[in-house]
Amino acid sequence: MSEKIYVGVDVGGTAIKVGICNADGQLLQTYEGPTEAGKGTDTILQNIAKYAQQIVVESDYDWAQVDGVGVGIAGFLDIPNGIVKFAPNLKIENVNLKAYLEQELNKTVKVNNDANVAALGEAWGGAGRGISHCVCYTLGTGVGGGIIIDGKIVEGYMGMAGELGHMAIVPDLEAIQCGCGKMGCLETVSSATGIIRMAKDAVERGDRTSLSQVDNIMAKDVLDAAKAGDEVATRIVNRAAYYLGKSLAMIAIVLNPQYFIIGGGVSKAGDFLFDQIREVFEKYTQDQAKENVKIVAATLGNNAGVVGAAGLILRG
């Protein structure tokens, strides 16, 4: 019972998920409780501390075994100091989360943003287990990312590294404006939102496609239609995969990671999508920079956040 354990906390807008990992990034136990974001900052903070303790107390592990507590949270952070400068979905502003939790829990606490933490989770305990150099993409509403070099999260100068969805990858001629205000971001074509937009545009334009029969088009509808051979849907998915693959090729030559790990809703299309990405990657990446490089699917799903948060203690 003297094995060290690591507690990870994934703070979401409606639920706080906590987990216990061992030093190898294996998830041993999880627990989930309500965030109660409506009750204000104090309640949220108390809940984080409470659930982190509770999961250990109610387990076969001892609080003394806890080597530290990591927290992943969406928002603008001062990562080294563990300060939440602004978390829009929780309405938390200028709170020193690290200091609060270290006082409450009497353990080392590390805080990082949700995208970095999910990337670390996959790198440490998921698809990239044992791999030191990984780049992770999450294809959801947006395109999130995280970069792991020598096993650790790359934060960059102001903590902005890994925002892969905002690579200006689409050429001007066919670029549209991204939610961030810039033109041609990867997210405008390779996110679920981007895929849905392209599909709706096609339907509105009157393109001949099975998607015109679908009421409220979701990314999955487009991927399914493409798998079934619909030409318009195929063109859309090709485009999403093309720019994604090109962004991988650029990152391969800049950082030479061993694994690209791709997760999020859109990635569930599986090999149908991955094979297209691999083909583009193959075409645009210099030979030495792609030697033994793998493009793989994320494996932890919604648990990437708690695993990565726990991983902050050893690998943050």
Residues that bind a second copy in the complex, under the rule CB under 8 A: 132-133, 145, 147, 149, 154-164, 166-169, 171, 173, 180-185, 246-247, 249-251, 253-258, 283-289, 291-293
Task: Name the residue nearer to a second copy (CB basis): 99 or 254.
Answer: 254
Task: Name the residue nearer to a second copy (CB basis): 91 or 182.
Answer: 182
Token pair for 192: 């679920």
Task: Name the residue nearer to a second copy (CB basis): 63 or 284.
Answer: 284
Whole-number minimum distance, CB 265 to a second copy, in Å?
A: 22
Whole-number minimum distance, CB 145 to a second copy, in Å?
A: 8
Whole-number minimum distance, CB 165 to a second copy, in Å?
A: 9
Whole-number minimum distance, CB 104 to a second copy, in Å?
A: 30
Whole-number minimum distance, CB 149 to a second copy, in Å?
A: 6
Task: Give the chain as a DSSP string.
Answer: ----EEEEEEE-SSEEEEEEE-TT--EEEEEEEE--GGG-HHHHHHHHHHHHHHHHHTSSS-GGGEEEEEEEESSEEETTTTEEEEETTTTEEEEEHHHHHHHHH-S-EEEEEHHHHHHHHHHHHSTTTT-S-EEEEEESSSEEEEEEETTEE---TTS-TT-GGG-B-S-GGG--B-TTS-BSBTHHHHSHHHHHHHHHHHHHHT---GGGG-SS--HHHHHHHHHTT-HHHHHHHHHHHHHHHHHHHHHHHHH--SEEEEESGGGGGTHHHHHHHHHHHHHHS-HHHHTT-EEEE-S-GGGHHHHHHHHHHHH-
Task: Name the residue nearer to a second copy (CB basis): 7 or 148.
Answer: 148
Whole-number minimum distance, CB 134 to a second copy, in Å?
A: 9
Task: Name the residue nearer to a second copy (CB basis): 129 or 220.
Answer: 129
Separation CA 82–CA 77 (nearest Å): 7
Pairing of strands 83-87, 92-96: antiparallel
Whole-number minimum distance, CB 277 to a second copy, in Å?
A: 14
Whole-number minimum distance, CB 15 to a second copy, in Å?
A: 27
Task: Name the residue nearer to a second copy (CB basis): 116 or 303.
Answer: 116
Maximum C-alpha span of the chain: 66
Token pair for 283: 């075409």
